[in-house]
Structure 1
């Protein structure tokens, strides 16, 4: 049977490259782009039997490829009590009490995205604050950055945390002067105890729902691919169930298996070998069209808000935290992963952490030799030194950054804890562009809102989505709309080593396309706010349509 051909016309078609002139139409045959350009030659390529769809002048781009996400965590967060807009501890308490009243039989209350700004000077989260709202069941609240967790006394008990529970490598169970846990878990302590507890409580049906939630939410905002950055055994099982059921996923996913620093080199090397074995097994069983275990992720440091990111100079409070992965472990483990063909994704928020990240890449090159497809990437780069940017360009390392992380509404505490000129030099997108560093943009959902148009709005304005009266943060850094759309599409395809099949509207590429309800090239940036996809295509199929009965021939 001949595959159906559809021409989409009367549009502004951004084909993937910022300096390319938009086209007026494109054609899809089966799961591939057949042609893009002026309508007459596209019609000639499509043939007389093609169906035509008038897009009414809409802006069209390659589907957004989410550059950094936590898929199951995003899907789970959509079921949680949302706390990002809370401005005080009292408001958090009110929401938790309301959630408990609405679900009196719930075994636990889960919340997400609280901000450090709600606490007074020198104040930190405590279990007692949450006990005042809900004391009878565990309460577990993820911070906005997903690097710390705030819990009540019932949760500490459920997780088995007491005075004798040791801190894991790279983490801290915050304690009072008597040694009792206060209800605040940092970094790997949050991962091991809070996330580990929730993972043990979740069922397969829960995880399947989380994956479905995330995919649906992304398709509605024009995302047709994702880069998974916290992959593990439970995530893999959920993806396998979906692949076994459907033979496909809602869109392609590149996954990075998260490595946990153990403090023992043999243990870390064994984990890398196991990830490589799983990658090969999955590729043999399913191919890599939909799910590709691309590499591994090292979390080298924490976050600036909690003063756990690793910096070259102290925070305003004098703190100088070390890295989660010390060089003596990070370098040989990176070399082993690189030798196995696993792509390195290196979480580095502080300027010293990004130095360590590049030391790892350079050691891989020294030991394993140069390789064109290495595509090492550093994630976040919130505070980064100029010499690091130059070094990234020389080493061919991609900068994976998230505009929503510098929404001015979430920067008050971030700036205060730095306390010096670093508070005004963060997120230097312009310096990466000027140095020729490859850029891939994403959201890091659920640490920040997942909606692609709002992410794009911040990239082109440096203004706030969450508090629209705020002044922009360092607006000289902004992208042009075309630069930003490229970094959200072709840039992320390059970063995931899929630039030969995704990220362009060009002949032979997979027909992953989004029709937008706003035009970032021509409209005022404010038109992007809270907009969504009108139509999302994945491999030529309609994966989401906002207006089924208004799209027509």
Structure 2
């Protein structure tokens, strides 16, 4: 009989596997050998078996954030964090940064609230007087738009006459002059290419810090929705120094208008990987965001926008999707508006049984009518959602930009997490870091409370969509695994699966939702061993 490398125990073990119970987990070669009571597993003890007793703690399957941008996010988080700041403070920070800027430096920031431009219109000229000749680049909170000043437009050579393969655009005024408002990634990249570079060492340090921070909050793995240009170099550099503290599953982006050569290059990346990272799947966009008017809606928003897909020819998206479905490659499609979500579901349904060869999912799903809720379960398509976007970026009184654009009826259909679960659908949860912070306990708390966990003064948004504590935990474990087609290797504490665990000081299933964010994480375990920043098991 095989003996265990380690016996890991705690007062409470939530296996999330109905057929498996116990307070002790036997591990061998990074996999779970068995689960049961200490007495039941005693026969697996050998002379070299390590004993790890977490005492009164609670063990769950290792938490998985189902939507992050841990490498692309490094570029997205350069400069000042402007998240949730009022315009007065934004201007103060930008003025200080411009005054302190070295020659050839830029003023940069991220997390800018679109509600700041209500009444004045989106554009960067409002910052010209405080930034002057120093180029300024600010990413909006939605990650799909940016604000730049006149100096940045000049530095990037932007004229307002630029065209794109997709529906990206450089906003212009009535005279055809660029306003400094850039919509969608291809337009934003015009300025990104002009930004001062960052050294490889700086990026490696920031990347390592992000992963260690995630591990410290109990995240054992994450689905990374991109494979940026230097992703491979970064993860390989970190692996030269030791194992990654978070398991990474990369899905490269395919943007609107992608050529057949581009599709083939993404397909060729499948399976590339290292000890704790790999490329699996592909990430599409069918639309943009509601806040910037680029989500694909059944009818226009309050400003007459939202009537088109990011793909200028949506049938080309369906063909590209089919290219991967036919090859058994998992797909994930960003779809926020009701028309966008419906189009993706229609496209997957048209693939017939071929779609069931692997996992397919839709990301975000911010507003959908009743008839789309049940289609996720019926088609076997997973919903990957971030209800924290709703709790942080919208208001119960519907005075926020997102709600105003949609109107009362469609705003009331936002982030229908509970409805999708009640209809039998798979619901994976995530943060979309850096769009919102990656703390999974805050994410779970918000999904239960439907308001920011640390803001009891804020009214909940659509409280009828609140998840139970178990549903929230499943969104970070068993349902996250199902959304990626990984139920045979992760998601529950079961024999044969990876020994990836999260250890809490208190039980997240019985704690008050308001207290979830304060529960200490005692350890994050990968392959049966505690990862960096925790005492070694």
- Could you state the TM-score of these two structures normalised by the residue count of structure 1? 0.88
Closer, same or farther: CA 162–79 of 1 in aligned 2, 3 Å:
closer
Task: After TM superposition, give the deviation of residue 139 of structure 1 in Å.
Answer: 1.9
Could you tell me which residue of structure 2 aligns to residue 110 of structure 1?
108
Could you tell me which residue of structure 2 aligns to residue 306 of structure 1?
292
Could you tell me which residue of structure 2 aligns to residue 381 of structure 1?
365
Q: Is the 8 A contact 2:294 2:310 kept in 1?
A: no
Deviates more, 1:421-430 or 1:248-257: 248-257
Closer, same or farther: CA 3–132 of 1 in aligned 2, 3 Å:
farther
Closer, same or farther: CA 15–356 of 1 in aligned 2, 3 Å:
same
Q: Distance in 2 between matches of 1:235 and 1:197?
A: 20
Task: After TM superposition, give the deviation of residue 106 of structure 1 in Å.
Answer: 7.5
Closer, same or farther: CA 472–531 of 1 in aligned 2, 3 Å:
same
Task: After TM superposition, give the deviation of residue 42 of structure 1 in Å.
Answer: 3.3
Q: Does 1:55 align with 2:54?
A: yes
Task: After TM superposition, give the deviation of residue 258 of structure 1 in Å.
Answer: 0.7
Q: Distance in 1 between matches of 2:461 and 2:325?
A: 37
Q: Distance in 2 between matches of 1:24 and 1:482?
A: 19
Q: Is the 8 A contact 1:222 1:532 kept in 2?
A: no
Could you tell me which residue of structure 1 aligns to residue 340 of structure 2?
353
Could you tell me which residue of structure 1 aligns to residue 79 of structure 2?
80
Could you tell me which residue of structure 2 aligns to residue 487 of structure 1?
475
Q: Distance in 2 between matches of 1:29 and 1:489?
A: 21
Gaps of 5+ in 1: none
Deviations 1:258-286 (A, max 9, x none): 11223xxxx52221111112325x26xx5
Could you tell me which residue of structure 2 aligns to residue 458 of structure 1?
446
Deviations 1:192-251 (A, max 9, x none): 3234445x83443344334323211211111111111122333234334445x2575333
Q: Distance in 1 between matches of 2:129 and 2:512?
A: 46
Task: After TM superposition, give the deviation of residue 523 of structure 1 in Å.
Answer: 1.5
Could you tell me which residue of structure 1 aligns to residue 212 of structure 2?
216
Could you tell me which residue of structure 1 aligns to residue 309 of structure 2?
323
Deviations 1:114-153 (A, max 9, x none): 11122333x2332222223323432211111101011122
Could you tell me which residue of structure 2 aligns to residue 65 of structure 1?
64
Q: Distance in 1 between matches of 2:437 and 2:249?
A: 20
Q: Distance in 1 between matches of 2:346 and 2:438?
A: 31
Deviates more, 1:162-171 or 1:178-187: 162-171
Could you tell me which residue of structure 2 aligns to residue 269 of structure 1?
260
Could you tell me which residue of structure 2 aligns to residue 337 of structure 1?
324
Deviates more, 1:154-163 or 1:374-383: 154-163
Q: Distance in 2 between matches of 1:422 and 1:520?
A: 33
Q: Distance in 1 between matches of 2:241 and 2:3?
A: 21
Q: Does 1:141 align with 2:138?
A: yes
Closer, same or farther: CA 379–371 of 1 in aligned 2, 3 Å:
closer
Q: Is the 8 A contact 1:257 1:275 kept in 2?
A: yes
Q: Distance in 2 between matches of 1:465 and 1:476?
A: 17
Deviations 1:89-127 (A, max 9, x none): 221111223344566467223211111122333x23322
Q: Is the 8 A contact 2:23 2:38 kept in 1?
A: yes
Closer, same or farther: CA 191–340 of 1 in aligned 2, 3 Å:
farther
Could you tell me which residue of structure 1 aligns to residue 23 of structure 2?
24
Deviates more, 1:377-386 or 1:156-165: 156-165
Q: How many residues align?
A: 531
Could you tell me which residue of structure 2 aligns to residue 443 of structure 1?
431
RMSD: 2.6
Q: Distance in 2 between matches of 1:298 and 1:349?
A: 12
Q: Distance in 2 between matches of 1:469 and 1:52?
A: 46
Q: Does 1:296 align with 2:254?
A: no
Q: Distance in 1 between matches of 2:29 and 2:3?
A: 5
Deviations 1:45-78 (A, max 9, x none): 3357644344242222111111011111334455
Task: After TM superposition, give the deviation of residue 304 of structure 1 in Å.
Answer: 1.1
Q: Distance in 1 between matches of 2:426 and 2:387?
A: 15
- SS of 2:464's partner is helix
Could you tell me which residue of structure 2 aligns to residue 228 of structure 1?
224
Q: Does 1:90 align with 2:88?
A: yes
- SS of 2:11's partner is strand
- SS of 1:231's partner is coil
Closer, same or farther: CA 185–42 of 1 in aligned 2, 3 Å:
same
Closer, same or farther: CA 232–71 of 1 in aligned 2, 3 Å:
same
Task: After TM superposition, give the deviation of residue 82 of structure 1 in Å.
Answer: 1.0
Closer, same or farther: CA 418–84 of 1 in aligned 2, 3 Å:
same
Deviations 1:345-388 (A, max 9, x none): 111000000111112212333xxx43533211000101012222
Q: Distance in 1 between matches of 2:501 and 2:236?
A: 25
Q: Does 1:160 align with 2:164?
A: no
Could you tell me which residue of structure 2 aligns to residue 33 of structure 1?
32
Q: Distance in 2 between matches of 1:257 and 1:147?
A: 17
- SS of 2:234's partner is helix
